[in-house]
Structure formats: C-alpha cells, structure tokens
Amino acid sequence: MRTTTAIFRIKRQSKMDRSDPHICRYCGNVLKSKSSLRQHEISHTGTGKGYTCCDKVFFSKANLNRHRCHVHGEEKAFVCTKCS
C-alpha cells in the first residue's frame, strides 16, 4: 500500500515529465521547473544576493552550506530541543 506522500511524489513527477522543458538562454541547460531555471540563470548573470567563501560566490545559501560541509568539513550545529 502506498502512502499519501509517495502518491503525491508520483503525481508531481508525472506532471513535471509532461511539462515543457525550461531552457537556459545563456548555456542551453535544460531544467524541469521554472524556479530551477530562474535559480540557474542567476549563476550566469550574477544578480541577486551572493554568498562568498574561498573567493567563490554561491547564489543560494544551500550551495554555500554544501560547499562548507564538503570542502571545509563544517557540519551544521544541531541543538536538540529535548536535551539542550
């Protein structure tokens, strides 16, 4: 038996597969969603807020955090709400 979440994911993926591809006007990269395309194009234009580390610029905080974790070995500081 499938969970509601699994069914939602299947429906969402099916919708994405049917939608028109979103093509980057700068490099021709094909992305599946309009929001992904918008975020991708920021990397070409340099518009928007940038996060810097190691003389590199990241246009999303998630990419900066991924860089910090993989390159610098930094981990997120997790504070347990029950034991802290």
End-to-end CA distance of the chain: 39
Domain count, the chain: 2
Provide the whole-model pTM: 0.45
Contacts of 71 (CB under 8 A, 6+ apart): 54
- pLDDT above 60 for 27: yes
User: What pLDDT is attached to residue 84?
Assistant: 61
Non-local CB neighbours of 14 within 8 Å, separated by 6+ positions:
none
Kindly state the tokens that stand for 70.
């993989």
Please tell me the predicted confidence (pLDDT) of residue 36.
85
The pLDDT of residue 25 is 93
Distance CA 15, CA 1 (A): 22
Residues 81 and 54 in one domain: yes
- Are 24 and 42 contained in the same domain? yes
- Digit-coded pLDDT (tens) for 29-83: 998 888 888 888 887 887 766 788 888 878 778 888 889 888 988 776 677 778 7
In this structure, are 41 and 59 located in the same domain? no
Q: In which domain, by residue range, is 27 found?
A: 19-48
Whether the CB-CB separation of 19 and 32 falls below 8 Å is answered with yes
For residue 10, tell me if it sits in a domain.
no
